[in-house]
């Protein structure tokens, strides 16, 4: 039987409607946003900078099978290449000890198991050099995470440098310089806030960076080192100036931002920057600072970003993440080299062991290996091509693949917790042969999101195995619906997207 055309198909029950425009006045939808997509237009490169790196909690969690299962699941849907975590020098990794005379002793048994596990799953380490081993710390002051990392400067700077040298040399001996030169070595985590207790914070961090970077480069200049790994997009211009003025090696700059950071913290202003724009504004700030610096070609790595640094169920556990991620990708394209979402998994213990599957965790995957809407949104965005087509829209991205096929993301962004209204997006496709096929895939509250199912169960803290199966099924990405484009030389496709919906349209 001949399939109905995309132009005439109505799928109201799915949350995505492809329907004649004349019906819109009857259903009370807003006027359509018309998006002109010219498949033959000149393109710009569109590297998938948002899907190569991901954050995770602390080093020893990577030894767990649940962590590795979630890592494999993530890599199955995106081009994941690196994982970053805290605490490779925490005492539970047992890297550093001292004998009765105070002489350092190093133990790399767990380091090897941690990095072997990543590499066995096709992932390279993004090595965050933190935190301070207790016996090397100037004071045993802990950051108030559940696992209590020590965040003070070393009692002896030369011993810290020796640890970095021994660690770097061991990695080269075990994995070879050709492999380890592809890793990133990042000095510490967010030293501008409570993760670093040196005083003054900035100057003592520069001392930490200098000792660390020089120790790494002394072992082998091919190793890649950078910083300052600050929160709230801080210090980048001054950090580069410090490295340039003092001839300190630096191969990349890194920093963090979250969409609910304040304008006061990120920009020193009293603006009210909405959640949808904060990350892109911060990325632009750092991009411009690097361009204006003495080292304008330094790669920029956002080694943490997300829609919230709080645990907010309506944000990170909900389908809101689909439009938020898509819009962030749209805005940040061309302004950064890599962005690392914090995190890929809710195998995560900063605030303690999770006591329910949905608590606003940062991960793409909930406890029990249950994919969230964000996981499936990432799977849709992965299908975008590597060439970007120009669009006059803040609700869509159009791309082209080497074979000429189109992949178009479209979304209905509504702030988290708000009801919102359906949004019409009318795609005019020029340069597409008549009678070509298109497919449509969607993530929204009813498709590819297990949150509603969990809420309907009564929000059980510890789902039964049968309930977990139901949640896994609810978190499965729906298969694409194949349809036939119509409309002559310039086919038209009209989408009606429910609030918090992300759609992926592919046209061959």
Residues 6+ apart with CB under 8 A from 123: 71, 75, 80, 81, 82, 83
The string of DSSP letters for 282-310 reads: HHHHHHHHHHTSS-TT--EEEEEEES-SS
What size, in residues, is the chain?
508
Q: Is 304 a catalytic residue?
A: yes
Catalytic residue among 190, 202, 312, 338: 190
Q: Are 128 and 229 in contact, with CB atoms under 8 Å apart? A: yes
Catalytic residue among 51, 202, 304, 338: 304
Question: CA–CA separation, 452 vs 435, rounded Å?
Answer: 38
Q: Are 31 and 424 in contact, with CB atoms under 8 Å apart? A: yes
Question: CA–CA separation, 76 vs 26, rounded Å?
Answer: 43
Question: CA–CA separation, 445 vs 498, rounded Å?
Answer: 9
Question: CA–CA separation, 303 vs 315, rounded Å?
Answer: 20
Q: Are 83 and 127 in contact, with CB atoms under 8 Å apart? A: no
Question: CA–CA separation, 460 vs 367, rounded Å?
Answer: 13
Question: CA–CA separation, 33 vs 98, rounded Å?
Answer: 66
Beta bridge partners of 397: 409
Burial 224-236 (b: 16+ CB within 10 A, else e): bbbbbbbbbbbbb
Question: CA–CA separation, 251 vs 226, rounded Å?
Answer: 6
Q: CB 291: neighbour CB atoms within 10 A?
A: 13
Q: Of the candidates 309, 245, 507, which has an alpha carbon nearest to the alpha carbon of residue 399?
A: 507
> What are the C-alpha distances in Å from 193 to residues 87, 147, 230, 362?
17, 18, 8, 20
Please tell me the number of Cα atoms within 13 Å of 171 on its side-chain side: 29
Question: CA–CA separation, 317 vs 315, rounded Å?
Answer: 6
3-state secondary structure of 172: helix
DSSP tag of 416? T
Question: CA–CA separation, 354 vs 375, rounded Å?
Answer: 19
**Residues recognised as catalytic:** 190, 304
């Amino acid at each position: 039987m001949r399939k109905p055309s995309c132009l005439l198909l109505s799928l109201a029950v799915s949350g995505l409607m492809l329907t004649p425009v004349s019906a819109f006045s009857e259903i009370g939808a807003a006027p359509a946003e018309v998006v002109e997509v010219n498949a033959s237009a000149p393109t710009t490169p569109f590297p998938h900078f948002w899907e190569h790196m991901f954050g995770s909690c602390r080093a020893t969690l990577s030894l767990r099978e649940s962590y590795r299962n979630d890592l494999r699941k993530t890599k199955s849907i995106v081009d994941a290449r690196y994982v970053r975590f805290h605490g490779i020098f925490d005492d539970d990794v047992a890297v550093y000890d001292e004998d009765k005379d105070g002489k350092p002793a190093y133990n790399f048994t767990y380091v090897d198991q941690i990095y072997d596990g990543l590499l066995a799953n096709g992932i390279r380490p993004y090595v965050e050099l933190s935190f301070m081993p207790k016996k090397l710390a100037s004071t045993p002051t802990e950051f108030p995470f559940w696992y209590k990392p020590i965040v003070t400067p070393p009692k002896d700077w030369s011993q810290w440098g020796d640890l970095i040298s021994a660690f770097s040399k061991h990695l080269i001996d075990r994995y070879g310089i050709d492999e380890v030169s592809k890793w990133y070595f990042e000095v510490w985590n967010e030293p501008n806030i409570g993760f670093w207790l040196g005083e003054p914070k900035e100057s003592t961090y520069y001392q930490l960076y200098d000792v660390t970077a020089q120790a790494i480069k002394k072992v082998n200049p091919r190793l890649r080192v950078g910083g300052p790994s600050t929160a709230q997009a801080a210090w980048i211009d001054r950090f580069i100036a410090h490295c340039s003025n003092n001839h300190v090696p630096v191969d990349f700059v890194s920093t963090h931002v979250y969409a609910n950071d304040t304008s006061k913290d990120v920009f020193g202003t009293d603006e009210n920057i909405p959640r949808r724009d904060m990350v892109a504004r911060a990325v632009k700030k750092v991009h411009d600072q690097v361009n204006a610096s003495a080292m304008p070609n330094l790669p920029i790595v956002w080694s943490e970003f997300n829609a919230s640094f709080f645990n907010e169920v309506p944000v990170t556990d909900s389908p809101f993440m689909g439009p938020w991620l898509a819009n962030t990708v749209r805005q940040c394209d061309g302004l950064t080299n890599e962005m690392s979402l914090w995190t890929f998994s809710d195998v995560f213990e900063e605030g303690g062991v999770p006591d329910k599957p949905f608590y606003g965790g940062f991960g793409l995957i909930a406890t029990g290996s249950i994919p969230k809407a964000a996981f499936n949104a990432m799977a849709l965005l992965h299908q975008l091509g590597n060439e970007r087509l120009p669009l006059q829209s803040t609700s869509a991205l159009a791309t082209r693949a080497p074979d000429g096929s189109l992949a178009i993301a479209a979304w209905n962004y509504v702030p988290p917790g708000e009801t919102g209204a359906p949004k019409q997006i009318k795609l005019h496709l020029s340069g597409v042969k008549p009678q070509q096929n298109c497919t449509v895939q969607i993530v929204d509250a009813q498709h590819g999101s297990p949150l509603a199912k969990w809420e309907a169960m009564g929000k059980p803290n510890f789902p039964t195995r049968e309930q977990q199966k139901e949640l896994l099924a609810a978190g499965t990405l729906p298969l694409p619906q194949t349809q036939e484009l119509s409309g002559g030389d310039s086919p038209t496709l009209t989408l009606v997207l429910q609030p918090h919906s992300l759609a992926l349209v592919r046209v061959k």
